[in-house]
C-alpha cells in the first residue's frame, strides 16, 4: 500500500520555515514522493482580515478563543482534504503542514488556564491533546533567528508578523513547549549557518520517510547525452523552467522556477543576497501560478529562459540529478550531492562523463542563461 507521512513544520517568527519548506518539498518530490502542503491557516486568515493580533494585543480572551477555534477547524479540514487527495492518487505521499494545530496553545493564556482553553478548543472539533499529536507522524521545530542568529532576524517576508526579538523568543519557547510529548519532535537550532540548519531539517524529514538523505554539497560533471533505455535504476523526471528577474535591490539575484511532474506544476521564487564577505542569505518560497505569470514580465532582458528536464536517481547510495537542457541546447550536466566536498564519488557507469565542471562558473544556470536566445 502507498504510504502517507504527515509532518508539522513549525517554529518561532523568522525561523526559516518558508525557505526550508520549499527545499523539503523539492527534494522529497525528486525522491519520487508526491508532496502536499497544508498552508499556514493563521497567516492566511490574518492577511484576509481576521483581527486576531488586535484581540491578543487587548487581551480579549473571548475573541481570541473564537479566532483560535476557527483556526483549528480550518487546519483540521485542510489536513483532511490533503490526505484525501493523496489517497486518490495512491502513491507514497508526504503531507507538510505549515504549522500544526498544537501551535495554537502558544497564543492562549499562560499556565493551567491556557491548557484548559486549549483542551476546550480541541473538544469542539472532536480531539484531545493525544489525538492532536497523533495527526502528525513527526514535528520539525525550527528555532527563531532571534535566538542565536540575531543578525538575520527580520519580518519583511511575512506581513502578518510584527514581533520584536524578545517576543519572538517567547513565542518560540511556547511553541516548542506545546509539542513536548510528541514521540517524534525534532528541534533544529541555530548552531550552524542557515545552510546547515536547512540540511539538518532535511535529514530529519528524510529519516521520518525512511529514504536516503540528499545532501547540499554538490559536484558537477559535463556528460554526453544519456540513453535512458539503458538506465538500470529507477529515476524521476522533472520538467524545469527557470527565469531570472531584474533585482529590486543592488546585489540581489532573483529567479522564479516552474517544476512540473506529470501534469502537476509547482512554482518557486528564490532570492539570494550578499550580506558580507563570504556570507549570503537565500530565501525561497512557493508561489501560485498567477504570481509566477505576473513575475515573468520582470525578466532580466539579458538572460534567456532556462529549460531542462531533470532526472533524479540514486546510485551506490548517492543522490544524482541529471539535467538535459533544451535551452541552451546540447548541454547535459550531472550533479551529485555529498556530505563532504572531498568525499569520493561513485559515478554511475551507465553515464559517459566528459569532465568535472564543479568550479567552472560557465556552467552555472545564472551564467548559462546569458547565452540563451
141 has pLDDT over 60: yes
- DSSP per-residue codes, 161-198: ----HHHHHHHHHHHHHHTTT-TTEEEE-SSS-HHHHH
Domain positions in the chain:
4-209, 217-371
Label the pairing between strands 4-11 and 236-245: unpaired
Task: Specify the DSSP class assigned to residue 11.
Answer: E
Q: Facing residues of 259 across strands?
A: 240, 266
Superfamily of domain 4-209: P-loop containing nucleotide triphosphate hydrolases (3.40.50.300)
Cα separation, 50 vs 343, whole angstroms = 51
For domain 217-371, say whether CATH 2.60.40.10 is its number: no
pLDDT band for position 181 (cuts 50, 70, 90): confident
pLDDT tens for each residue of 25-42: 999 998 889 999 999 999
Q: What is the largest CA-CA distance in the chain?
A: 68
DSSP letter at 297 equals T
Is cis: bond before 328, omega within 30 of 0? Answer: yes
Q: What is the mean pLDDT of the chain?
A: 88
pLDDT band, residue 143 (cuts 50/70/90): very high
With a cut of 80, say whether residue 72 has pLDDT above it: yes
User: What average pLDDT does this structure show over 248-268?
Assistant: 83
Hey, which bits of 288-365 come out as E strands? Answer: 306-315, 318-327, 332-338, 353-356
- The Cα–Cα gap between 146 and 366 comes to 32
Amino acid at each position: 500500500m502507498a504510504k502517507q507521512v504527515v509532518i508539522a513544520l513549525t517554529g518561532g517568527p523568522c525561523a526559516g520555515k518558508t525557505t526550508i519548506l520549499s527545499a523539503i518539498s523539492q527534494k522529497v518530490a525528486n525522491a519520487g514522493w508526491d508532496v502536499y502542503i497544508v498552508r499556514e491557516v493563521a497567516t492566511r486568515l490574518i492577511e484576509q482580515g481576521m483581527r486576531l493580533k488586535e484581540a491578543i494585543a487587548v487581551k480579549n480572551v473571548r475573541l481570541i478563543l473564537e479566532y483560535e477555534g476557527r483556526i483549528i477547524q480550518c487546519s483540521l479540514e485542510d489536513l483532511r482534504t490533503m490526505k484525501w487527495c493523496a489517497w486518490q492518487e495512491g502513491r507514497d505521499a508526504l503531507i507538510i503542514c505549515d504549522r500544526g494545530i498544537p501551535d495554537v496553545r502558544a497564543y492562549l493564556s499562560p499556565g493551567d488556564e491556557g491548557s484548559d482553553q486549549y483542551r476546550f478548543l480541541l473538544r469542539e472539533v472532536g480531539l484531545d491533546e493525544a489525538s492532536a499529536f497523533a495527526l502528525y507522524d513527526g514535528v520539525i521545530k525550527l528555532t527563531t533567528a532571534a535566538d542565536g542568529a540575531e543578525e538575520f532576524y527580520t519580518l519583511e517576508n511575512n506581513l502578518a508578523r510584527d514581533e520584536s526579538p524578545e517576543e519572538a523568543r517567547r513565542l518560540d519557547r511556547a511553541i516548542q513547549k506545546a509539542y513536548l510529548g510528541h514521540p517524534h519532535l525534532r528541534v533544529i537550532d541555530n548552531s550552524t549557518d542557515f545552510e546547515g540548519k536547512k540540511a539538518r531539517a532535511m535529514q530529519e524529514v528524510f529519516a521520518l520517510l525512511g529514504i536516503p538523505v540528499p545532501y547540499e554539497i554538490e559536484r558537477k560533471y559535463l556528460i554526453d547525452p544519456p540513453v535512458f533505455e539503458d538506465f538500470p535504476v529507477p529515476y524521476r523526471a522533472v520538467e524545469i523552467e527557470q527565469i531570472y528577474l531584474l533585482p529590486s535591490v543592488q546585489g540581489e539575484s532573483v529567479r522564479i522556477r516552474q517544476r512540473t511532474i506529470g501534469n502537476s506544476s509547482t512554482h518557486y521564487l528564490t532570492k539570494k543576497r550578499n550580506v558580507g564577505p563570504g556570507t549570503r542569505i537565500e530565501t525561497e518560497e512557493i508561489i501560485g501560478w498567477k504570481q509566477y505569470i505576473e513575475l515573468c514580465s520582470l525578466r532580466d532582458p539579458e538572460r534567456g529562459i532556462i529549460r531542462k528536464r531533470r532526472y533524479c536517481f540514486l546510485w551506490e547510495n548517492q543522490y544524482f540529478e541529471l539535467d538535459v537542457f533544451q535551452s541552451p541546447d546540447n548541454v547535459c550536466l550531472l550533479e551529485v550531492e555529498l556530505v563532504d566536498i572531498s568525499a569520493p564519488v561513485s559515478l554511475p557507469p551507465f553515464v559517459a562523463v566528459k569532465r568535472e565542471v564543479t568550479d567552472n562558473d560557465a556552467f552555472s544556470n545564472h551564467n548559462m542563461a546569458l547565452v540563451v536566445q
